[in-house]
Chain A
């Protein structure tokens, strides 16, 4: 298995909703990442997990809450989002935190906040 699987592929949520994004990989990668990507822009780093521990939080608002239950799974819990949070949310993983061979990205969750 050489993939990063993200679910759901599309999500529409209201500003008062609570939802979660899920990311899974079975490549034995020990670092996992959440990125946010707006249209025609590069991905922006949100969170980094190294060996299931949060190692980087790029000053992301608390309405985004990451969770890494085990080495294969990464969640992003969403609550009280704003319309400007609408974006493509990408999960990525790398063999080690040093990412000497780059990232493997998932296909993303297209989030629309209404």
Chain B
């Protein structure tokens, strides 16, 4: 079954707006939560990541919010730009083993 649930499947945001993508998980053994950005025809690129001992991490316009008790985490893109239009995948890794479980992806379109 899907270990990491991601929503929405697609998202359209006006330029300058805030894009929010949500992920939820069940396995409390997950200890590392990255977000990947993928442009068409390219491989995913690590955007930002968080560990469960912090509730928020910010890098430039990108912020991860993490709610350990609710087992949810989300990506916020502030001042969204057309160049942010891409597919975003959340992921989670178990403390043991080196396999990442990916969410189903969110296709973001930022309209000028």
Task: Give A residues with C-beta under 8 Å from B.
Answer: 4, 6, 31, 40-43, 45, 48, 50, 55-56, 90, 92, 94, 97-108, 110
In the bound complex, CA of A6 to CA of B45 (Å): 15
> What total count of A-B pairs have CB within 8 Å?
59
Tell me whether B99 is interfacial, beta carbon within 8 Å.
yes
Is B89 a contact partner of A42 (Cβ separation < 8 A)?
A: yes
Given A40-B105, A102-B34, A50–B44 Cβ distance below 8 Å? no
Closest residue of B by beta carbon distance from A55: B98
Q: Is B60 close to A, CB under 8 A?
A: no
Flag if B98 contacts A50 (CB, 8 Å).
yes
- Which of B93, B99, B104 is in CB contact (< 8 Å) with A41? B104
Q: How many residues of B contact A (CB 8 A)?
A: 21
A contact residues around B107 at 8 Å (CB): 40
Say if the beta carbon of B46 comes within 8 Å of chain A. Answer: yes
Chain B residue with minimal CB distance to A50? Answer: B98
B32 at the interface (CB under 8 A from A): yes
Distance from A51 Cβ to chain B, minimum over Cβ atoms (Å): 11
Chain A residues with Cβ below 8 Å from B87 are 40
A43 near B44 (CB under 8 angstroms)?
Answer: yes
Query: Does B30 interact with chain A (Cβ within 8 Å)?
Result: no
- Whether B102 and A43, one on each chain, are in contact in the complex, defined by CB atoms closer than 8 angstroms, is yes
Could you tell me the distance between the alpha carbons of A1 and B93 in the complex, rounded to whole angstroms? 26
What residues on A are CB-neighbors of B32 within 8 Å?
A: 99-100, 102
